[in-house]
Structure 1
C-alpha cells in the first residue's frame, strides 16, 4: 500500500490451532440447505504462507482455524464443519494488523454475541452477517482507543467463515477471496479501490476526493480498519469506512478450494491464474501449504512490490482430489519406400534361412 511509516518489523503469525450493502452470489433458502446438506459435506484442511517480499517491514497478519468448534471450546455451538480464516494487510506500520490478529477471537466471536446453533438456516446466517458487521466496526473503534496503536496506522481485513456447506466472506479493503469451482475462478470479494465508480461516488458524497487513484491523495483503499488520522470523529460519516461487504455461497461437490490473499498477490496475478496454479499443485502433491508457497513464489517472480500472504482452504479430504485425465496414447503410422521394403524383406529371408 501507498501509506507507510517506518516501524519495527513484525513477522506474520499463523494460528493453525493457531455498507450496509450486502451482496450474495447465491441465495441460500432454508429448503435448499435442507435438501442438499446430506449430499455434500466439506472436509476442511488448509495451508498458508507469508513473506516480507521486497518491503523493509512485514505488515501482514493472518489467522486460520480449520476446526472452530474445538478451538473455541464447549462454550460455543456451531454447525459442523466450522472454520474461520482472516487476512489483515497493514499499512503505516504493523500495529493495526497485529492488534486485529492478536484479538481476533475476542473481536469476532466473544464481544459480539456470535449466534450459536447446530443448524444452518436463514436466521443463523443473518445473525452471522450482523455479528461480522458489528465485529468490523467494533475492531475499528478499538484501534482508535488503544494507546499502543498509532492513529496513522491501519489495516484492511478479509474474513472467511464456513458453517456446514455455507461459505461467507466479509471484506473491507483490497484483500481478495477466490473460489475454485470446477477449475473456474469465482471472486468472493470486491477490491475496495477509490477509483471504482461505486466507491468513488460514496467517497465524494462524504467530502473526500480521489487524487491519482488514492483516497485524499494518501491511501490506495477506500475501506480499512484504523487510519483514524483520516477519519472524521467517532459517530460521523467518513469517506474512509470500516464497513464490510458480504458474499456467501452454498458449497457443492464442484467447489474445490478457496484462496485468500493480500493485494501483494493480486497486484501481479489474476484470480484465474491463481486458481490454475493451485489446482495443478493439488493434483501433483495435494498439499495446500505448498500451493500457498507456490503462489507467493510466483508473485515474487512477477516482481510484486508488497508483503505477501496466502491461505489455501481445501474442501475435500486428502486423496480425494480430482485426477488429471490420462492422455490417450497416440499411434503413429509410417510408410516404407520400395527400396526400404525390399531391404527389409531380404533381411527377413536371410534370417529365416539361417
Structure 2
C-alpha cells in the first residue's frame, strides 16, 4: 500500500505540473555597449497569430521573441536558434539551456562547414565571421550558396521544444555580448534575485544589461525576458559544486562549444 501511495503521489504531482497554464509577460532592454553602431537588436510580437489574420486563438497564444527565437504557448515552448544568441530557461532556479551557440569552434559545425567548401581560420568562418549560422551576413563573399548548392553560412535554425510546467519561471534571451559576461546559471541567479526584489520584468532586463557593462562588456547588449508567472520566483536553494578555473571567458566558451557538439 505504501508503494502504491508513493506512485500515486508521483503521478498526481506530474499531473499538477502539466495542468499549469502560463501567465505571460515580457520585457526587453538593449544598449549599444562599446560598439559604434547597434546590430544586435530584437523583436517582440505578443500576438503573432493575429498578425497573420488567425483569430481562433486567445491573446498571446502564439508569440515571437527575437532575434531567432519563437515562443509558442499555451503549454509548449519552442526555441529556434541560428547564431550565437542564447535562450536559457529558469526551471525552479536551475538554468536549462534551450539553444546552442553556433560558433566555428563547434566540431559539428566545423564538419558541416568543411563539407560545403568553407573553412575555419583563427576561429572565424572563412576567416571573416564569428558565427556559423545567421539570418543575415549574406553580403560576405563566399558565404552564400548558388542555386541548389548550399554555402557554409546557414540560416537553418536548430529547434528545441519543451512542455511548460509550473516549475518553469521565465526565459532569458540574450545576445552574445550578455553571455560573454554571464554564465547561464549566473544570469538566472541574478535575474531571480532582481525579480524577487521588484518583480518588474523590463527593469530586470535593464539591470542585466547594466551588470554586463559593469563587468566590462564591449559588445552590443540585448536581453529579452518572457515570464510565465505573474508572481516573482520563489526563494529556493540550488545545490551546486564548487568549481575553480583559470581560463578566459572566451576560452571557456570555445571549450564549451567543443564539448557540447
TM > 0.5 fold call: yes
Q: Which residue of 1 aligns with 2:195?
A: 282
Q: How does 1:104-115 map to 2 (within 5 A)?
A: none
Q: Structure 2: where are the runs of 5+ without partners? A: 1-14, 237-261
Change (3 A) 1:39 1:75: closer
Deviation at 1:302, TM superposition (A): 1.4
Determine whether 1:42 maps to 2:22.
Answer: yes
Which structure has the larger Rg over C-alpha atoms? 1
Determine whether 1:234 maps to 2:122.
Answer: no
Q: CA RMSD in A?
A: 2.0
String of CA shifts for 1:101-124, please: whole Å, max 9, x gaps: xxxxxxxxxxxxxxxxxxxxxxxx
Q: How does 1:40-119 map to 2 (within 5 A)?
A: 40-69=20-49, 71-72=50-51, 75-78=54-57, 81-88=60-67
Q: Which residue of 2 aligns with 1:215?
A: 125
Q: Which residue of 2 aligns with 1:303?
A: 216
Deviation at 1:324, TM superposition (A): 3.4
Structure 1 length normalisation: TM-score? 0.58
Change (3 A) 1:262 1:322: closer
C-alpha contact (below 8 Å) 2:17/2:167 kept by paired residues? no
Deviation at 1:80, TM superposition (A): 6.6
C-alpha contact (below 8 Å) 1:67/1:81 kept by paired residues? yes
Partner Cα distance (2:83, 2:26) in 1? 23
Deviation at 1:73, TM superposition (A): 7.2
Q: Which residue of 2 aligns with 1:183?
A: 93
Q: Structure 1: where are the runs of 5+ without partners? A: 1-34, 89-157, 326-354
C-alpha contact (below 8 Å) 2:93/2:189 kept by paired residues? yes
Deviation at 1:84, TM superposition (A): 2.1
C-alpha contact (below 8 Å) 1:80/1:164 kept by paired residues? no
SS of the equivalent of 1:61 reads coil
Q: Which residue of 2 aligns with 1:94?
A: none
Correspondent of 1:246 among 159, 175, 183: 159
C-alpha contact (below 8 Å) 2:63/2:73 kept by paired residues? no
**Structure with bigger RCO (C-alpha 8 Å, 6+ apart):** 2
How many residue pairs end up in the alignment?
219
C-alpha contact (below 8 Å) 1:87/1:175 kept by paired residues? no
